[in-house]
Amino acid sequence: MRNSILLGAAALLTSLALAQSADLQIRDDVPIDAYLALLAQVAPPAREGAEAYMAAFRARCGRALRTVELRRAFAEGNGDPTLMAMIRATHQKDTADLQRLGASISCPGS
């Protein structure tokens, strides 16, 4: 049941992101802290997974993930599979899976 709630929350976040703009042009006009606060209100595991994703991105790519990049990771298609899996792993407190997933993040332009 928890997984279905978590997947439902992820779907809700995706729907919210899609509803933000009819033409899917996601702008970088929301501070990352504000976006993470919204995630925490909607689904705390989503925020925790997003923070893990952001930390892994910084470690692998050598720079911080921009808000627009995180929003796209939630919004495009069914969401970035690595991000969605990291949300699930965070919720399940599966640190081994989080490390494995973090190592699989690809950096833009590489």
Q: What is the pLDDT of residues 31-83, one digit of tens each?
A: 888 888 988 888 899 999 999 999 999 999 999 999 999 999 998 899 999 99
Tokens coding 51 = 């923070």
| C-alpha pair distances (Å), 60 with each of 12, 52, 67, 85, 97 | 28, 12, 17, 17, 16
3-state secondary structure of 26: coil
> Would you state the pLDDT for residue 88?
96
Q: Scanning the structure block, which residue is given the tokens 């930390």?
A: 55
> Would you state the pLDDT for residue 26?
54
Domain boundaries, the chain: 2-102
DSSP state of 109: T
Pick the more confident residue, 81 or 13. Answer: 81
Per-residue pLDDT band for 13 (boundaries 50, 70, 90) equals: low
- Its pTM stands at 0.73
What distance in Å separates the CA atoms of residue 27 and residue 84, rounded to the nearest whole number?
Answer: 21
Cβ proximity of 16 and 49 under 8 Å: no
pLDDT of residue 86 exceeding 80, the answer is yes
Tokens coding 17 = 């992101």
> Would you state the pLDDT for residue 2?
52
> Would you state the pLDDT for residue 32?
87
Tokens coding 53 = 């994703």
| Mean pLDDT calculated for residue range 19-28 | 50
What distance in Å separates the CA atoms of residue 21 and residue 57, rounded to the nearest whole number?
Answer: 26
What distance in Å separates the CA atoms of residue 46 and residue 23, rounded to the nearest whole number?
Answer: 24
Per-residue pLDDT band for 24 (boundaries 50, 70, 90) equals: very low
